[in-house]
């Protein structure tokens, strides 16, 4: 079975641009979460979606938004990119939204120049 | 929210050595996960261990939920064990938004 897949793997954007990152969860998993990991730190929670509804939002500005589609895949959008948005963006999927193991994709490495 | 601390922050060992990594958390949790982040950034699941002890080959983990800590043991280290090890717990009890520790960077020297 395929694991969590993310695209693209690498991305370079200019300040002020917008970016869309994509995630396909493990088959049968209905929950998708997004995390940001800056160099030298642990991942920080951004969003969680379950059954196409937002279940949680971390401490990130409104420039960050996400959605989940009927097939449970998800997109993370970031508007008006700042240099500080450069990071590894990780997607995690789980069967349910509570009390279950989370599995992570390989990440999208975003560089803002 | 919950606080998660890992120790030591860095660990350098010879191939074949054993190691113990520690994760302390500030509140009750209903699950805990250990991950290994490889040099390419992928978080690899090691253990899902809310309590008790689990073993998988050369790795084992123990979580003592009542005392709010978990330990990851790596025996007979190999160079492929190098990387950063994270523990992660729910942001609050019953909430699956994970809070990660600061990680332990393990370097295995041949």
- Cβ neighbours of B95 in A, within 8 Å: 56, 98
Cα angle A107, A111, A113 (rounded to 5 degrees) comes to 170
Distance, CA of B34 to CA of B98 (rounded, Å): 11
CA pair distance A44, A63, nearest whole angstrom: 16
pLDDT band at A31 (very low <50, low <70, confident <90, very high): very high
Is the predicted pLDDT of residue B29 greater than 90, yes or no?
no
Please give the span between the terminal C-alpha atoms of chain B, in angstroms, as a whole number: 40
Q: Which of B25, B6, B21, B37 is nearest to B64 (CA)?
A: B25
Mapped to the 3 state alphabet, what secondary structure does chain B carry? CCCEEEECCEEEEECCCCEEEEEEECCCCCCCEEEEECCCCCEEEEEECCCEEEEECCEEEEEEHHHCEEEEEECCCCHHHCEEEEEEEECCCCCCCEEECCCEEEEEEC
Q: What is the pLDDT of residue A1?
A: 62
Contact yes or no for A92 and B98 at CB 8 A: yes
Question: Residues A77-110: pLDDT tens digits?
Answer: 999 999 999 999 999 999 987 778 999 999 999 9
Beta bridge partners of A36: A44, A89
Structural contact between residues A77 and A18, judged by C-beta atoms closer than 8 angstroms: yes
pLDDT tens track for B60-106: 999 999 999 999 999 999 999 999 999 999 876 555 689 999 999 99
> What is the rounded distance in angstroms from the CA atom of residue B46 to the CA atom of residue B32?
11
| A33–B42 CB contact, under 8 Å | no
| C-alpha separations of A61 from A16, A64, A82, B100 in Å | 15, 6, 12, 20
- Which of A3, A5, A104, A110 to mutate: most B Cβ within 10 Å? A104
Question: For residues B107 and B110, what is the distance between their CA atoms, to the nearest angstrom?
Answer: 10
CB contact under 8 A, A48 and B97: yes
C-alpha distances (whole Å) from A67 to each of A75, A111, B93 are 6, 22, 25
Question: pLDDT digit string (tens) for A39-87?
Answer: 999 999 999 999 999 988 999 999 999 999 999 999 999 999 999 999 9
Specify the pLDDT at position A2.
Answer: 81
- Which among A41, A56, A105 is the nearest to B97, CB-wise? A56
Give the pLDDT of residue B97. 85
Residue with tokens 């994970």: B98
> Stretch B24-41: mean pLDDT, rounded?
92
């Amino acid at each position: 079975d395929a694991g969590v897949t993310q695209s693209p793997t690498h991305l370079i954007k200019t300040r002020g641009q917008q970016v869309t990152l994509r995630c396909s969860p493990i088959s049968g998993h209905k929950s998708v979460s997004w995390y940001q990991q800056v160099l030298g730190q642990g991942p920080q929670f951004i969003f969680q979606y379950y059954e196409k509804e937002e279940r949680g939002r971390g401490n990130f500005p409104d420039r960050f938004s996400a959605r989940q589609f009927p097939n449970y895949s998800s997109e993370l959008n970031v508007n008006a990119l700042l240099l500080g948005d450069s990071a590894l963006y990780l997607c995690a999927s789980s069967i349910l939204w509570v009390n279950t193991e989370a599995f992570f994709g390989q990440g999208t490495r975003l560089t803002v120049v | 929210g919950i606080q998660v601390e890992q120790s030591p922050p860095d660990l350098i060992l010879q191939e074949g050595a054993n190691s113990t990594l520690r994760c302390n958390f500030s509140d009750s949790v209903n699950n805990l996960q250990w991950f290994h982040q490889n040099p390419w950034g992928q978080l690899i699941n090691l253990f899902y261990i809310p309590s008790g002890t689990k073993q998988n080959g050369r790795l084992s983990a123990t979580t003592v939920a009542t005392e709010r800590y978990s330990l990851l043991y790596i025996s007979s280290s190999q160079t492929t064990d190098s990387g950063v090890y994270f523990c992660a717990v729910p942001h609050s009890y019953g909430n699956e938004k994970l809070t990660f520790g600061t990680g332990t960077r393990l370097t295995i020297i041949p």
